[in-house]
Structure 1
Amino acid sequence: VAEDDAWVEGQSLISTVEDVELIDPDLSGERLLYRLFHERGVRVFSPLALQAKCSCSRDAVSAMLKSFAPQDRAEMVKDGKVVVTCEFCSSVYQFTPQEAGAEDGAAP
């Protein structure tokens, strides 16, 4: 398959790059790409700014909490509240047991 051949060729060309070339401030990424792939043609697009952004929200966390069984929600109550910390952005969301739906299956 031609795609497999192109992948193998690309890997072979990339393996010729030395570590020092990757950190050389005088060798731009565009120049390195051209050196490696000029025979196939190189096209470089304008860079897009990347931004780390979490999609969590109080509503999303509340909906997630309500997907747990009532007994599980009741066990999440500590010191009179349910606290959820987003593992991606470290945002902390606090809910009353009522907001989290934990009062329905209150632990005995």
Structure 2
Amino acid sequence: MSLILSPRVLPILMLIASNVFMTFAWYGHLKFKSSPIWIAVMGSWLIAFFEYWLAVPANRIGNQVYSAAELKTMQEVITLTVFAVFSVLYLKETLTWNHAIGFAMIAGGAAFIFKG
């Protein structure tokens, strides 16, 4: 249990959870295109509120052991991973080889951040 609560692991788990909220806030409304835009914006804002309660503490806790650049890089890779799953399962969109190659290139670039 102490490993999960460590500043090395807990921020990653919190960033994953925050990204689930944020992905729903930014893209969940696409299944409801007939709803007025103000409802989409307000609904998204309410969902994003909870995302901030995870992301801000995750970055503060994580900064004990990770640099800001490392935290941002983790955030981007997590974002792409969560979005890919969301896109397929929730939006029922197909990911192509082009998507996979592009995501892999971004993940490869992220690896350089942690090499230094």
TM-score by length of 1: 0.24
Q: Give the greater-gyration-radius structure (CA).
A: 1
Structure that is richer in helix per residue: 2
Structure that is richer in strand per residue: 1
- The one of the two structures with greater contact order (alpha-carbon pairs below 8 A, sep at least 6) is 2
